[in-house]
Amino acid sequence: MPHVLKSLLPRRAWLPGSLQAPWAASLVVAAAAVGCLAGGRALAFVAQTPIQGPLSLANFVKGSSDCYDRQTRLPLAVVDTHLHVRPFGGRPIPFPDLLNYLRQSGVLFANLYGIGQRLPVNSPCTYYLDCPGVSADPSLKSDFSNAENSLDVDTSGLKLVLSMTFPDLAKPAEVLPQMAILDKEYPGLFRWMGEVNLAKQALYNNGHQAVPIERIAAWKPFMAELQRRNIPIAIHSDLGNDKDPLKYLPLMERVLNLYPNNRIVWMHLGLSKELAEIDWQHLGQSKQESISEVRHHVALLETLLRRYPNLSFDLSWRVIDDQVFSDPVKRDLYVGLINRWPRRFIPGTDFVAAAGKGEGVYRDELAVTSAILGRVNDEAFRRIALGQNFFELAGLEAVAPPLCRAAR
């Protein structure tokens, strides 16, 4: 930032959501003036009014002229497209409390996933990894719970999307009949499907295995129905593991080849704890070799984005930050990818709402998973952090506000 602009900033800490400062509107004008004078051009301004105070749904309507000023706000996503409202077992955070977490964190839009795999009701475990050998099975229970809560609880100030999390992709014949149950009980409420598991190694000790590749062709009836309704499907499919980094890539490629007209969201960039170092050559690689392997991963994602126009990627889960984005050199490779393909990514926390997790835990997850969004360009920020990509995928009428800038 030029020195002259720094002098315009107040000497106080930034506040989440908005600084609510009276000089906010003038900062846009000042920035334009400095840029234009530096370029030796006459000034020409477009009237813009930066949004004052916390964002609200009113800022996300078509035709709104107020702009979002990145310079005066923290780079936090206002949409959480990956929120698990229930844990795998045990009690959840009370739904009204969870909605207040969103409100207090500045999140206005949320995609409500249940938990596709529920531990038995008599299990003492909240998390499946704490109970190896105990089956965690797909179930409609979470979807019913989410629907009831969304109807019974005050959701004012928020826009919630319900997702069908029940499907067992290894049993495709069961999907349409269970969709019909939700249609009957909650007509028109569900706009999304997922998170559904194609290959999730973390669940292998709880009765899950990768879906056999030959079974993917049997998805055709329910995938056709999703396409007819324009409903996206969000798939968790581990790319591989440290010993075999591309082990499960053929599964996802088969899905993409068989269903090119379905809108498919690949969770977590295909990464997982089992692919901790993106070590595609050998264990114990050098720092430079590790960066080289990240380049291979980015190149793979870019190839898939180019080949499959209806494919998007989900940036959720703090594990991605812990393992990859926390390294600035590696992170910047993904920033470049996102900037080149700004319409193909959506944000999320992957927060699992187990009882006992306070608002501070959610805020931390939001901050960590949003951190990379502070590095992307304006178009990517508006489409990802401010939700435009999600709105288009989910069929919402919301429109992300424009970013503040001055014409020259």
* Residue 391 domain-assigned (yes or no): no
* Residue 385 domain-assigned (yes or no): no
Answer positive or negative: Cα dihedral of 99, 103, 105, 106: positive
Sheet (strand 345-346) strand order = 345-346, 311-314, 264-266, 233-237, 190-199, 159-164, 109-113, 79-84, 351-352
Same domain assignment for residues 45 and 111: no
Poorest-confidence range of 23-27, 85-89, 94-98? 23-27
Strands (E), 165-305: 190-199, 233-237, 264-266
Same domain assignment for residues 355 and 402: no
| Burial class of residue 383 (count of CB atoms within 10 Å of its CB; 0-12, 13-18, 19+) | buried
- How confident is the model at residue 40, as a pLDDT? 34
| Cα Rg of the chain (Å, integer) | 22
The DSSP bridge partners found for residue 163 are 192
Same domain assignment for residues 62 and 137: no
Q: Mean pLDDT over residues 296-323, rounded? A: 96
- How confident is the model at residue 34, as a pLDDT? 35
pLDDT over 70 for what percent of the chain? 77
Number of domains in the chain: 2
DSSP state for residue 68 in the 8-state scheme: B
Q: Residues 252, 338, 399, 266: what is their CA dihedral angle, to the nearest 10 degrees?
A: 10
Q: Mean pLDDT over residues 177-184, rounded? A: 97
* Residue 386 domain-assigned (yes or no): no
Same domain assignment for residues 150 and 4: no
Q: How far is the C-alpha of 189 from the C-alpha of 163, rounded, in Å?
A: 9
Angle between helices 287-307 and 328-340 (to 10 degrees): 10
How many residues are listed for the chain in this entry? 408
Query: How confident is the model over 95-105, as pLDDT tens digits?
Result: 999 999 999 99
3-state secondary structure (DSSP) of residue 98: helix
Count of C-beta atoms within a 10 Å radius of residue 153: 14
Residue with tokens 């706009």: 191
- How confident is the model at residue 32, as a pLDDT? 39
* Residue 382 domain-assigned (yes or no): no
* Residue 387 domain-assigned (yes or no): no
Phi, psi values for residue 312, rounded to 5°: -125, 165
3-state secondary structure (DSSP) of residue 183: helix
- Residue 63, CA distances (Å) to 19, 151, 159, 386, 403 in order: 24, 29, 19, 16, 14
3-state secondary structure (DSSP) of residue 107: coil
Higher pLDDT, 202 or 70: 70
DSSP state for residue 51 in the 8-state scheme: P
At 130, the pLDDT band (50, 70, 90 cuts) reads low
Q: How far is the C-alpha of 125 from the C-alpha of 119, rounded, in Å?
A: 8
Closest by CA to 92, choosing from 386, 352, 285, 271, is 352
* Residue 381 domain-assigned (yes or no): no
Same domain assignment for residues 210 and 345: yes
Range of the domain at 288: 76-376
Same domain assignment for residues 205 and 336: yes
Higher pLDDT, 370 or 356: 370
Same domain assignment for residues 297 and 201: yes
Q: How far is the C-alpha of 310 from the C-alpha of 289, rounded, in Å?
A: 32
110 sits in which H/E element: strand 109-113
Same domain assignment for residues 47 and 147: no
At 58, the pLDDT band (50, 70, 90 cuts) reads very high
Q: Is the peptide bond preceding residue 392 cis, with omega within 30 degrees of 0?
A: no
3-state secondary structure (DSSP) of residue 258: helix
CATH number at residue 301: 3.20.20.140
3-state secondary structure (DSSP) of residue 195: strand
Q: Mean pLDDT over residues 318-329, rounded? A: 93
Q: How far is the C-alpha of 119 from the C-alpha of 136, rounded, in Å?
A: 5
DSSP state for residue 277 in the 8-state scheme: S
